[in-house]
Amino acid sequence: MIISIVAGGPEQELPDLRLLDIGDTVWIGVDRGALYLLNRGIIPMKALGDFDSVSDKERQKIINAVPDHVQYPAEKDETDLEIALTYAISKKPDAIHLYGVTGGRLDHFFGAVTLLMKDEVMNEGIAVSIIDRYNHIALYKPGRIEVEAAENDHYYYSFFAMNEKVEELTLEGFKYPLVSHLLKSGSSRCVSNEIIGKKAVFSFQSGILMVIRSSDGGMNR
The percentage of the chain sitting over the pLDDT mark of 90, rounded to a whole number, equals 83
CB atoms within 10 A of CB 188: 8
Q: Which overall architecture, per CATH, does domain 140-214 show?
A: 3-Layer(aba) Sandwich (3.40)
From the number of C-beta atoms within 10 Å of its C-beta (0-12, 13-18, 19+), residue 80 rates as buried
pLDDT grade, residue 220 (50/70/90)?
Answer: low
What's the confidence (pLDDT) of residue 77?
Answer: 85
Q: Per the confidence metrics, is the pTM higher than 0.75?
A: yes
Tell me the H-state helices in 77-199. Answer: 80-90, 106-115, 119-124
Per-residue pLDDT band at 14 (split at 50, 70, 90): very high
Summarised one tens digit per residue, pLDDT across range 98-154 is 999 999 899 999 999 999 998 888 888 889 999 999 999 999 999 999 998 876 557
Say what the pLDDT of residue 219 is: 62
* Per-residue model confidence as pLDDT tens digits over 16-36: 999 999 889 999 999 999 999
pLDDT per residue as tens digits for the range 85-107 = 999 999 999 999 999 999 989 99
Structure confidence at residue 120 (pLDDT): 86
Mean predicted confidence (pLDDT) in 68-81: 91
Pick the residue with more confidence: 185 or 150? Answer: 185
Residue 99 is predicted with a pLDDT of: 98
Check: CB of residue 158 under 8 Å from CB of residue 191.
yes
What CATH number belongs to 2-133? Answer: 3.40.50.10240
Q: Phi, psi (5° rounding) for residue 75?
A: -95, 110
Residue ranges covered by each domain of the chain: 2-133, 140-214
Mean pLDDT of the chain: 93
CA distance 149 to 188: 23
